[in-house]
Every structure is written in structure tokens, then in C-alpha cells.
Amino acid sequence: MHEMSITQSVVDICTQNAAGRRVTAVVLEIGELSGVVPDAIEFCFEACTRDTLLDGARLLIERVRARGRCRDCKAEFALSSHYAPCPACSSFGVDLLSGEELRVKELEVE
Ligand SMILES: [Zn+2]
């Protein structure tokens, strides 16, 4: 399962950063276009953290809005998909500015 291995690597990152301390909360940033399902991460989190430094830690997930910039007219706008054209000039030359992130933003340790 995709989300299970993602959650496992998040737990690994947190464990390394905690350096032996107990983790009480984790803030995770997940981009709208990352393809990662937050509910599935939450579901896996409990199983992945059992008997680790993160056991019982709260998981807070922040969704990151997807934004793009048009290469032709330089307009910036909210993106609904990877293949959405520029709303100003209909160009498909759109650079993704945000929305694909999956990262540990904050770690709360004891
Ligand atoms: Zn444009």
C-alpha cells in the first residue's frame, strides 16, 4: 500500500529528528496535487507509530493549495489539476509553484 510506505518514511524522518526524545505531535504538509490521501495517512499513522518514539503522538495535516504560474502571460492562479490551462490566456505552459509537497513541517518533542 502506497500510503503505508509514505507514512513509514515520515515516521523514520521524525524518529531521526527526535534523537531519542518522545514525539508528542507531528505537523505534516500535504499538497493538493501530491496524490497523497490525508485520510489514508492518518489511518496508517497509528499502526506505523506503535512502539516507536511517536507512539501516541498527534498527527496534524495541513493541505497546501496548488498554485501555478503561466509561462506566457506570467499570471498566477489556483490550480485544480496538473493539466489545467492558464485562466487568463488559456496557455498550457503552466509551471507548478506549490501543491506537490509532502513534508514534515513541525515536530513537537517532550
Ligand atoms: Zn497565461
Do residues 98 and 66 make contact, with C-beta atoms less than 8 angstroms apart? yes
Q: What is the pLDDT along the chain (110 residues), one digit of tens a residue?
A: 589 999 999 999 999 999 999 999 999 999 999 999 999 999 999 999 999 999 999 999 999 999 999 999 999 999 999 999 999 999 999 999 999 999 999 999 99
> What's the pLDDT at 1?
55
Do residues 52 and 18 make contact, with C-beta atoms less than 8 angstroms apart? no
Residue 77 Cα to ligand 1 midpoint, Å, equals 10
Neighbours of 13 (CB within 10 A): 14
Residue 99 Cα to ligand 1 midpoint, Å, equals 19
Residue 2 Cα to ligand 1 midpoint, Å, equals 35
| In the chain, where the domains are located | 2-66+98-109
CATH tag, 2-66+98-109: 3.30.2320.50
- One-letter amino acid of 62: E
Residues at Cβ < 5 Å from ligand 1 ion: 70, 72-73, 75, 86, 88-89, 91
Do residues 48 and 7 make contact, with C-beta atoms less than 8 angstroms apart? yes
